[in-house]
Chain A
């Protein structure tokens, strides 16, 4: 059973426009959420995170929104740049105990010039 779902395997956006990547989760114990960016044959790079006590966190061009009632989070990238083209993984953890990350399957973002 997939506890973290990224239902869009891919997304294409033009340079300068907004990219919106979505993630849904089913486990109500999750209270910390992260987005990672991954290029082929490289390790995931941490982008931004959000705790369940917040509904928004912003870092430069990246903003993560959390809707706890809908168990949904999204990553907004504005403006999108060709260098943003990568696979984006949503991950979640529950802070009780030595929690591990549960990853979604990823969304491949392609930003065209």
Chain B
């Protein structure tokens, strides 16, 4: 089973709203990722969690706040977003063995529209 689930599938929010995106995997993976993807562009890495600790933050604005409550769950808290933040937000996970990461498996994504 290589399933990563994400909720919600679609989200519309105003610029003053607070919302959260959720991601879950039960593959025993210890690395989890948030990506942002705009149309006709490759996924852009936002955050990496390894063993529930934030290991990479790709200079993402503070209006995006990640959280990893346990090894299976990853959240992305959204606050005061801008219309240009509208995109497909993808979660991924991978095993971490020793010092390298393996294949990343992606969830279906959350399509976010900021009005």
Contacts and interface: CB of A to CB of B under 8 A. Distances in A.
Interface of A: 32, 34, 36, 41-46, 49, 89, 93, 95-101, 103-106
A89 B55 CA distance: 25
B65 to A, nearest CB: 20
A98 B111 contact: no
B55 A49 contact: no
B88 A44 contact: no
Given A36-B106, A43-B107, A45-B106, A98 B42 contact: no
Main secondary structure of the interface of B (DSSP, over half): strand
B66 interface: no
Interface residues of B, number: 29
Contacts of A32: 100
Contacts of B105: 46
